[in-house]
Amino acid sequence: MDVLQAVVLGVVEGLTEFLPVSSTGHLTIAEQLLGLQVDDAGVTAFTAIVQTGAILAVVLFFRADIGRLVAGLLRGLVSAEARRLPAWREAWVVVVGSVPIGVVGLLAQGLVSGPLRSLWVVAVALVAWSVVMVLAERHGRQDRGEGSVGVRDALVVGLVQCVALVPGVSRSGATISAGLVRGLDRVAATRLSFLLSVPALLAAGALEAVREGGAVSAGVGWGPTLLATAVSFVVGYASIAWLLRLVARYPITVFVGYRVGLGVLLAGLLTTGVLSAT
């Protein structure tokens, strides 16, 4: 991978990580267009590692909230009084919501890095999950704010986040949709989506860096990987505030037309042989 390819992929990741359009799907498409073998172990690891840049942007953007939750969790472990404070409950929301993706991600590692690394999977998932997004937006009550988010909400959203292991579904699209179904308003659902992304994607990136470090070195190279990660951090940070303003004003279904159009176009390119699935 050369410098230009690394920059392009970093920009793609930073722009799409927090939008309900599937960053993994877009990275897979971009990697294919750039001539990379998308089911190669090094490229698969690169895809997971570069996402940590955008997640570190979340950590920086929400540093005050994250610091408050970590402090609340630590205080609550030793103080009954601290366990009555909102920070304790909110911290457990993130902890509980992160457990399902951790368990399923480890168990399905071979599936995620193997058969699911196909552009046909991306094309179908882009279209199929769009239906879920429409239903969630139409039928979700959206009458609950951030202060009402509980452990049960976190468990449901965390379980649905596992579906986003399928490229093309979109982690944010899955978690925001689940939040809407639970009755959360779009801002509350989006904030929960951001917070749940931190442990899930940082752990995934770290695991791939450790397990497939040799494949990254031999194939993509650590220089381009770190450059793409840094670019995704910068672009991702710039996109967070924009997305929060967007979801406060517009439904997530504004992305459905794009998702369906891209899925249909991708299926056409695969059918005609312009692109190969892997």
pLDDT means per 10 residues, the chain with 278 residues, are 91 89 89 85 84 88 90 90 88 90 82 81 95 93 87 92 91 92 91 85 76 76 91 90 79 93 95 87
State the pLDDT at residue 12.
93
Quick check: helix, strand or coil at residue 114? coil
Residue 128 makes CB contacts below 8 A (sequence gap 6+) with: none
What gap in Å lies between CA 243 and CA 190, rounded to an integer? 9
User: What is the domain partition of the chain in residue ranges?
Assistant: 3-271
State the pLDDT at residue 256.
95
State the pLDDT at residue 84.
87
Q: Alpha helix locations (H) across 108-150?
A: 109-113, 119-139
